[in-house]
């Protein structure tokens, strides 16, 4: 049967094209269907090559060396940062309430490191309000600069993990590090304030609602509120670092949350494990003498930095395997070829 033909005004004829075969795959349709597939489903399909890529890059990127640099700068900035934290907190709240709230760190820090930090905090909270104000003015500049050195080294290590070259200007890079450092300090102040206010709120809400508070409510709030707030704070800090730290366009959320969650959980587990190791197995004081507390603190910072960079490598592997790496940053150098079949 001859196909239908239509005459156009200029005398030309138009033959309609045959309909598409519904059983024949169409490249555009397949591409659209692939793009519309749920990202989490694609993530489940690529987790094996993601892990292989991550483990390989942990060695190629010398993450251990980068974590050691971060630990060194973090140790130098520890006491100025504590001075700023206590000074800011003491301007609004009673600084004497800080010490009881820091007990949630007892199981996360090595005993000698916890004692070292606790001694410094005890000295600061014993100062007068005017001394805290003067201490705030003097220590804020030093603390932000020295603490931002740790942040800058961490951002540089994250750039290495994401295989991204630093393209921001010197001023913009410094301001980014200062902003992230200030966020961490203010976040710690807010978390401490919430820990202090939580028992008060637990007692106040039943009176407001006209009901009798359960006898265990305050204790439960204190026991569960502290770890929960710390968990959320670490998760938010990791997500901010992975989202704003690399010198490139902001990545998709699916390339940020997995590494943030993994780094947070691994940080909790590794901190508890390292604290137990130092207290029950290793004795830094016997080996290093008076420097044992400082060495234990630096080792804890090393473990923490390594876990954070591991989360960045996980996110980088997800980006590469799922084809979600931003295209306006530095291109992949070629050493990170996909390991998927």
Q: What is the pLDDT of residues 275-310, one digit of tens each?
A: 888 877 667 777 777 788 888 889 999 999 999 999
Q: What is the pLDDT of residues 194-233, one digit of tens each?
A: 766 666 666 676 677 777 666 666 566 666 766 788 888 8
What is the Cα–Cα distance from 63 to 211, expressed in whole angstroms?
A: 54
256: its two tokens? 């940020």
Pairwise pLDDT comparison (19 vs 96), residue with the higher score: 96
- What's the mean per-residue pLDDT of the chain? 74
**Spatial contact of 329 and 167, defined as CB atoms under 8 Å apart:** yes
* Confidence tier at 332 by pLDDT (50, 70, 90): very low
What is the Cα–Cα distance from 153 to 171, expressed in whole angstroms?
A: 16
What is the reported pLDDT for 274? 87
Q: What are phi and psi of 122, to 5 degrees?
A: -60, -40
- Greatest mean pLDDT among 30-34, 130-134, 248-252 lies in 248-252
What is the reported pLDDT for 172? 92
Q: What is the pLDDT of residues 123-176, one digit of tens each?
A: 766 666 565 566 666 666 766 777 788 889 999 999 999 888 899 999 999 889
Angstrom CA distances, 28 to 25, 38, 156, stand at: 9, 18, 40
pTM: 0.71
Q: How is 153-174 classified by DSSP, letter by letter?
A: HHHHHHHHHTT----S-HHHHH
What is the reported pLDDT for 281? 67
Q: What number is the average pLDDT over the span 34-43?
A: 58
What is the reported pLDDT for 68? 92
Residue 247 has pLDDT above 70, yes or no: yes
């Amino acid at each position: 049967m001859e196909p239908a033909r239509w005459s156009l005004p200029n005398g030309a004829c138009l033959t309609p094209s045959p309909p598409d075969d519904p059983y024949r795959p169409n490249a555009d349709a397949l591409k659209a269907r692939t793009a519309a597939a749920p990202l989490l489903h694609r993530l489940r399909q690529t987790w094996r090559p993601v892990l292989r890529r991550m483990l390989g890059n942990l060695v190629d990127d010398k993450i251990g060396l980068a974590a050691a640099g971060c630990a060194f700068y973090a140790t130098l900035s520890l006491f100025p940062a504590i001075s700023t934290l206590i000074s800011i907190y003491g301007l609004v709240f009673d600084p004497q309430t800080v010490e009881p709230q820091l007990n949630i760190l007892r199981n996360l820090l090595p005993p000698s490191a916890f004692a070292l930090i606790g001694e410094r905090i005890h000295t600061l909270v014993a100062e007068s309000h005017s001394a805290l104000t003067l201490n705030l003015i003097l220590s804020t500049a030093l603390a932000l600069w020295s603490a931002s050195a740790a942040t800058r080294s961490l951002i540089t290590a994250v750039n290495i993990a994401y295989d991204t070259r630093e393209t921001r200007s010197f001023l913009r890079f410094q301001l980014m590090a200062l902003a992230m450092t200030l966020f961490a300090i203010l976040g710690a102040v807010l978390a401490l304030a919430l820990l202090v206010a939580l028992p008060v709120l637990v007692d106040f809400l039943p009176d407001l609602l006209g009901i009798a508070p359960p006898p265990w409510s305050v204790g439960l709030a204190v026991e569960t509120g502290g770890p929960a707030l710390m968990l959320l704070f670490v998760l938010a800090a990791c997500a901010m670092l992975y989202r704003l730290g690399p010198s490139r366009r902001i990545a998709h959320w699916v390339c940020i949350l997995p590494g943030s969650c993994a780094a947070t959980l691994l940080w909790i587990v590794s901190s508890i494990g390292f604290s137990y190791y130092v207290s029950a197995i290793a004795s830094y004081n016997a080996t290093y003498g008076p420097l044992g507390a400082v060495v234990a603190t630096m080792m804890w910072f090393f473990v923490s930095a390594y876990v954070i960079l591991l989360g960045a490598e996980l996110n980088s592997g997800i980006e590469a395997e799922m084809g979600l790496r931003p295209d306006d940053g530095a291109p992949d150098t070629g050493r990170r070829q996909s390991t998927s079949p």
